[in-house]
Amino acid sequence: MTVMEPNAPVTDAELATADSADTDTVDTTVHMEPATGPRSDPSAPAAASVAPETPLTADDMSPANGHIAAETTDEITPIPIPRPVPFPQPMPFPLPYRMASGRYRSRPIGYQLELRVDIDGTRPLRRLSGDYYSISESAVTYFGSWTVDAVTVRTSRSHVTVVGTARTTWPTTFTIATVTIPRAHLGRPAPAATLQWSTPSGAKGARYQCMWESTSFRTVELEEDCESGVAPFRSYDTRSLPSGGAARTLSVAGAFAEAGVQMLDTGGGNVVNTPSGYLWTNASLHHAMQAHFSRWQERPQYKVWLLHARAHEYGVGLRGIMFDQQGLQRQGCASFYQAISSGSAQNQRERLYVNVHELGHCFNLFHSFHKSYMNPPLPNRPGALSWMNYPQNYNPGGGAPSGTAAFWAAFGFEFDTLELAHLRHGFRNAVIMGGNPFGTGAALEVGEEFLDRVSDTSGLRLSIAPADPRPLLGMPIVLNITLTAERTQQVHRRDQLHPKYGFVHLAVSRPRGDVIVYQPPVQHCADPALVSSGHDDVLPISAYIGYDAVVGQLFDDPGTYRIRASYAAPDGTMLVSDTATLRVVAPRTSSDDQVADLLLRDQAGMALTLLGSDSPYLADGTNALETVVAEHGEHPAAVFARLALGTNAARPFAEVDATGAVRMRERDLTRADELLGAAVDASRGDSGLDDLTVYETLGYLASSHDAEGDTDRARELRHDAATLAESKHAPTSVLRSLQE
Amino acid sequence: MSRSDAGSGSAGHAAEPGPGALVVELAEGFAGDDVTVLIDGEQMWHRNGVSTNYSVGIADVVRLPMPTKAWPTVEVQVGRRAATRRVDVGETARAADGEGVDVGAEAGSEAPRELRLRARIDPAGTLSLGVASEETRY
């Protein structure tokens, strides 16, 4: 196999050596590979640094009593056999183990790997990530990054083994990362971590032995300068004012240390002289950075400049800015103390906040309420208790207290979980100062583990699945959204989980390469209707998402789409769903082709969203639906056309003409029965409409008959819906709503 | 616009214009746009390549002298998107003042009167323009 990537294997001899080590042994030496230059895949088995085996010592066999010990897979802890011990006597309690989390680094042979392990310690995210640098005689060059979003951790008495599938910035088939770290007690040297790459089918790739480097996931050099007459911020005691976090004294470096980022104070301390009353502009700030930031270079580097200043031309309301948005960006920021110069506790808290916040921008973090403007976008998180939210913009939703006072009362002085994942595990260029432009790549792909992690905290679980994972091009796309309440609490009523109510947001990654934050063409402004749910109550809803208010037809290309949902729970928790994959299949027959042409018309998408309309402005869309029913009645898409046309027939339509006169079209229940009956009958099995839509359609038709006084027919339809739902084991919440 | 930022503008502030500044804050959603600000149909400010700095949510802050004879009509044109918003400042300011939004300096203050408008483009591309308070930004 000829490869030029760091994950793939190279020679049989190296493979044999690599295979000789297993999880019961500890690598203690490094196999020096000739520095012949890197391959194109660092996970291929050539860059491996492998070692002879060393048996475990008795110390490694001691029972665990630290954080990792709680995860041990051993069900029974053996009772130690008493044995003679030399003087002095051993400590009566075993020492705790060292944390495995932190940063590790391999030898610079071909490739150098910076490995980050995040499984224990403060706010563990259960992730792995790494950056590869290719090493040649003359240069060290960044090669690529990878991250494992969800890991499995196995802990034995001697080792911690972390396994997961990686996303990489370069193509490779070696995507399974297995990291093995011997366990060591506190006070003993930190063991090395061994990374073994393999393919999903088990073929082994490269192996790296990485020496422990730091408990921090990243290290950044911070240089701080000060405008003349301005006293820079030092620290804030979080006990000074009520807050939502633990009591501690926080500096800027301390706040980042809690996030797993080491801020190295590199001195600086220049005083930047300015005239009295000087107002900074973005241009003058950039100039000052180039003049005073001793480590500034026009290249990516983990180095950042912070200027403590007085005022900006944008006004007294501006507390800080990440001004560096030309050339290689995000290398400098400034804080303005004009309005927060006194030593009051509020001002000290504000100074801490603004400094951490602006430096957060340098790490490529957007405001919690601006995430939808990123590239690619993410749903906004106005309820985030994060350094990156604005206190006055804090809004957890659901009627919970919002605004400045509520923010400070609940704020724990930390980044939110997704931001933490970005800081620790974002691809290098999306994080490093001077890397990607501000906002690009800032939406680190949300890891699968957040679903579990957040659910564990909130007692809620959000899942999504397309009603048809392989639809033909043009088929209306319906997404099933399910909220599960494991623990009793208030959640939104089931119908309000539809994206049109704004509590659930969707992001769609399309095959053409863009990411769309879905915006329903019709948005319902409703007060949150909360219900008490728990005991694993399942609240499902299905939503047609094929047509977007901005881009129109959302699924108009064959190919693979990835969809992710978020839900803002009433208590402010942001749940993120798993990723649903949808593959739109190209037309196979001429009928498929014609149906796709009809249903991908702009007005057809809107007509499907509205479930039909008499409006002359949507005549083209309505005609398309009629044509599908008339000329392609057997096509799988016809059932959706019947649904829209039948639902429209089941309700009256008021048309206002140019003179203001209102013309009413009455219900046509004969036509509604015919169209909706056919749609429902085609969907009683596994094909056609999704089950929830079928129940709702029968219920809607029943209501229409009720409204016309035909209560017998209405009762018959409701009975049909209930019977069908029971036979399909619909969740209790659905059966209950059918009864209502 | 945050109601919590609402100042205590007196009811008379919006009654008629006076000396001071008209500030047009170009906020979120600008991305390399050609932007023109007109007052009563006359071009007062133009810039190419206007982009929002999302570290503060501001693309630019345009300060113009306040016409003294009558409340002006302010128009923001965003060329690339062919979007235009026009507001009758007097009408808008009176409405905002009624809602408690500070549209000028505090009564008795020596600070110059300043009427702030904010233009923003939402992710759907819709341009909005309205009276705003100066917000605390980070």
Contacts of B54 in chain A (CB under 8 A): 366-367, 370, 373, 438-439
What's the pLDDT score for residue B6?
A: 30
Are A519 and B53 in contact (CB < 8 Å)?
Answer: no
Residue in A314, A377, A392 nearest the CB of B4? A392
Chain B closest-CA separation from residue A127 CA (Å): 28
ipTM of predicted assembly, 2 dp: 0.73
Outline where chain B has alpha helix (H): 89-98
Name the percent of chain A in helix, strand, coil, to the closest 5: 25, 25, 45
Cβ within 8 Å, pair A370-B124: no
User: A376: which chain B residues are within 8 Å (Cβ-Cβ)?
Assistant: none
E strand or H helix at A724: helix A711-727
Predicted pLDDT of residue A60: 32
Residues whose CB falls within 8 Å of the CB of residue B107, separated by 6 or more in sequence, listed in order: B10
Alpha carbon A569 to its chain centroid, in Å, reads: 16
d(CA A232, CA A269): 10
**Cα dist. A160→A84, A115, A156, A209, A561 in Å?**
30, 15, 6, 15, 36
| Record: contact A333-B136, CB cut-off 8 A | no
Q: With beta carbons under 8 A apart, name residues in chain A contacting B124.
A: 519, 549-550
Q: Say whether pTM exceeds 0.90.
A: no
| CA–CA dist A476, A468 (Å, integer) | 10
B4, B54, B61 ranked by CB distance to A373: nearest? B54
Label residue B125 left, alpha or beta by phi (over 0 means left) and psi (-120 to 50 means alpha): left
Looking at residue A720, its amino acid is D
Q: What is the reported pLDDT for B50? A: 93
Residue (of A544, A545, A565) closest to A461 by Cα position: A565
Chain B CB contacts of A404 under 8 Å are 4
Q: How many CA atoms lie within 13 A of A28 on its CB side?
A: 9
Reduce the secondary structure of A394-463 to three states and give it as a string.
CCCCCCCCCCHHHHHHHCCCCCCHHHHHHHHHCCHHHHCCCCCCCCECCCCCCCCHHHHHHHHHHCEEEE
Mutate to test the interface with A, among B28, B30, B53, B136 (most CBs of A within 10 A): B136
Question: Given A322, A354, A404, which is nearest B4 (Cβ)?
Answer: A404
Cα separation, A711 vs B85, in Å, equals 52
Query: Does A360 reach chain B within 8 Å, measured CB to CB?
Result: no
Asked if A313 contacts A280 with a C-beta cutoff of 8 angstroms, the reply is yes
Asked if A318 and B137 come within 8 Å (Cβ–Cβ), the reply is yes
Helix (H/G/I), strand (E/B), else coil: A493: coil
Which parts of chain B register pLDDT below 70?
1-19, 69, 80-83, 90-113
- Calculate helix-pair angle for A638-649, A691-707, nearest 10 degrees: 20
Bridge partners of residue A507, in order along the sequence: A517, A564
**Contact at 8 Å (CB) between A720 and A703?**
no
Q: Compute CA distances A392 → A286, A377, A408, whole Å.
A: 29, 23, 10
Could B55 and A323 be called an inter-chain contact, meaning their C-beta atoms sit closer than 8 Å?
Answer: yes
- Contact check, Cβ <8 Å, B53/A314: no
The pLDDT score that the predictor gives to residue A90 is 52
Option in A314, A372, A404 nearest B56 (CB) = A314
In the three-class reduction of DSSP (H, G, I as helix; E, B as strand; rest coil), residue A723 is classed as: helix
| Gyration radius of chain B's alpha carbons | 14
Separation of CA A736 from chain center:
33
The answer to whether A392 faces chain B, any CB pair under 8 Å, is yes
Number of structural domains chain B divides into: 1
pLDDT of residue B96: 59
pLDDT (tens digit per residue) in A684-716: 988 899 999 999 999 999 999 999 999 999 999
At A258 the pLDDT is: 97
Strand pairing report for B113-121 and B20-26? parallel
Counting as low any pLDDT under 70, the low residues of chain A are 1-4, 10-93, 138, 441-458, 526, 571-574
User: What pLDDT was estimated at residue A75?
Assistant: 38
Residues of B with CB under 8 A from a CB of A: 2, 4-5, 28-29, 51-58, 61, 123-125, 134-138
Give CA–CA dist A664/A672, Å, rounded.
17
Residues A301 and A105: their CA atoms lie apart, in Å, by 17
Whole-number Å distance between alpha carbons of A30 and A38: 17
In the DSSP assignment, the letter for residue A280 is B
Across the interface, whether the CB atoms of B136 and A549 are under 8 A apart is answered no
> Minimal Cα–Cα distance from A553 to chain B, Å?
14
Peptide bond into A275 cis (omega under 30): no
Query: How far is C-alpha A561 from the chain's CA centre?
Result: 16
Model pLDDT, residue B97: 59
Q: Indicate the SS3 state at residue A142.
A: strand
Residues ≥6 apart with Cβ < 8 Å to A273 = A228
Q: A370 vs B137: CB contact, 8 Å cut-off?
A: no
Q: Measured between CB atoms, which of B28, B125, B138 is closest to A373?
A: B28
- Nearest by CB: A358 against B57, B123, B138: B138
Q: In the numeric block, which tokens belong to residue A732?
A: 């209790």
Which chain B residues are within 8 Å of A315, Cβ to Cβ?
61, 134
Name the residue in chain B with its Cα closest to that of A322: B55
Which residue range forms the structural domain that includes residue B28?
2-134
Count of CB pairs separated by less than 8 Å, A with B:
73
Q: How far apart are CA A597 and CA B73, in angstroms?
A: 46
Residue A268 is predicted with a pLDDT of 73
> Given an 8 Å threshold on Cβ–Cβ distance, is A390 in contact with B136?
yes
Q: Does A529 touch chain B (CB under 8 A)?
A: no
Buried b (16+ CB within 10 A) or exposed e, A370-399: bbbbbebbbbbbbbbbbbbbbbbbbbbbbe
Asked if A387 is an interface residue toward chain B (Cβ–Cβ < 8 A), one would say no
CB-CB under 8 Å, A333 with B135: no
The gap from C-alpha A299 to its chain's centroid, in whole angstroms, comes to: 28
* Interchain proximity B123–A517, CB inside 8 Å: yes
CB contact under 8 A, A314 and B4: no
- Closest residue in B to A549 (Cα) is B124
